[in-house]
Amino acid sequence: MNAFKELYQYRELLKTNVRKDIRGKYKASFLGVLWSFVNPLLQVLVYAIVFPYIMKVQTDNYLIFLICGIIPWTWFTYSISNGTTSITNNANLIKKVYFPRVILPISVVTSGLVNFLISCFIILIFVLLGGVGLSWHLVFLPFIALIQYIITLAFTLLLSAINVYIKDVEYIIAFLINMLFYATPILYSTEIFHGSWLVWIFKLNPLAHLISAYRDIFYVHQVPQIFNLLILLLVGLLILIICYEIFKKLEKRFAEEV
């Protein structure tokens, strides 16, 4: 409970950090904040041009199918890769001032969330222009985003703390994220592996569940797998608590180790 009270007291720091993340990152560039949306769009464009040719994708509206996967994925990778270095990159602050250290990873995941929510408008534009249309299933969006926030935050807390002690983590993570991208049904649908043992990868991969839920509400227009999502929520909360406790243990020597 004390932890929440302290976080609440430092809410302004969280807000300014998020603002700095979103605005400060591209401050010197011509397009500014727009880059955070242009980047995933360009990525989508590359896949949308390349994959139908080399993989003979049969999916209808492949572009929209892709966007529903790439935009949540961007939030996840942004948070993990920037979150992992959030403590080490702020070594100066950590050594000089006291503030709740968890603020740093939390603000990375939160600014990712803000970007994601704005990017959802891009999905909506594509969905409308692509003729897929909208449906009432969008009401599930906050619930799915909440689960993704919890799971992402848990991993970010853990990785940011370990990275202080073992600097290799950030490089290992870059590789793992690359692997995970192909182990998550972003470019393809899980149905092409129907009946294969590979399905287990998707069953154990939380992102696979999340992305298929996003697709359910934006693209397929059906109620997502509520039971799966509830289990994901419970497991997410459990690992969040564990990762937070590990963070609390490790944070005591941050100022000496960064």
Partner 1 sequence: MNNDVAIKVVNMTKSFKLYSDKANTLKERLVRGWKNKPEIRTVLKSIDLTISKGETVALIGVNGSGKSTLLKLMTKIIYPNKGTVKTNGKLTSLLELGAGFHPDFTGRENIYFNAAIFGLTKEEIDQRLNEIIEFSELGDFIDSPVRTYSSGMYMRLAFSVAINVDADILLIDEILAVGDQHFQDKCFQKLEELSNSNKTIVIVSHSLGAIEKLCKRAIWIKDGEIAMDGNSNKVIEAYLKECA
Single residue of 99, 121, 182, 200 touching partner 1 by CB under 8 A: 99
Residue 101 or residue 215: which is nearer to partner 1 going by CB? Answer: 101
- The nearest distance, CB 76 to partner 1, in angstroms, is 24
178 counts as binding partner 1 under rule CB under 8 A: no
Query: Looking at 53-61, 72-80, 88-96, 183-191, which segment touches partner 1 (CB under 8 A)?
Result: 88-96
Task: State how far the Cα of 85 lies from the Cα of 110, in Å rounded to an integer.
Answer: 15
Nearest residue (CB) to partner 1, 13 versus 220 = 13
Binding mask 136-175 for partner 1 (x = CB under 8 A): ------------------------------xxx-------
Token pair belonging to 135:
């449906």
The CA dihedral of 17, 40, 68, 238, to the nearest 10 degrees, is -40
Q: What are the C-alpha distances in Å from 40 to residues 56, 60, 75, 87?
A: 23, 21, 10, 26
Q: Binding-site residue total for partner 1 (CB under 8 A)?
A: 26
Q: Which residue has the tokens 């010197």?
A: 28
Which residue, 58, 209, 52, 63, is CA-closest to 126?
A: 63
Of 61-69, 94-102, 116-124, 125-133, which segment contacts partner 1 by CB under 8 A?
94-102
Choose which of 92, 131, 191, 196 interacts with partner 1 (CB under 8 A).
92
Asked if 249 touches partner 1 (CB under 8 A), the answer is no
Stretch that binds partner 1, among 15-23, 30-38, 177-185, 205-213 (CB under 8 A): 15-23
> With b meaning 16 or more CB within 10 Å and e meaning fewer, what string describes 110-139?
bbbbebbeebbeebeebbeeeebeeeebee
Query: What's the rounded Cα separation, in Å, for the pair 215 and 83?
Result: 26
Q: Which residues bind partner 1 (CB under 8 A)?
A: 9-13, 15-16, 20, 24, 27-28, 92-99, 166-168, 252-253, 255-256
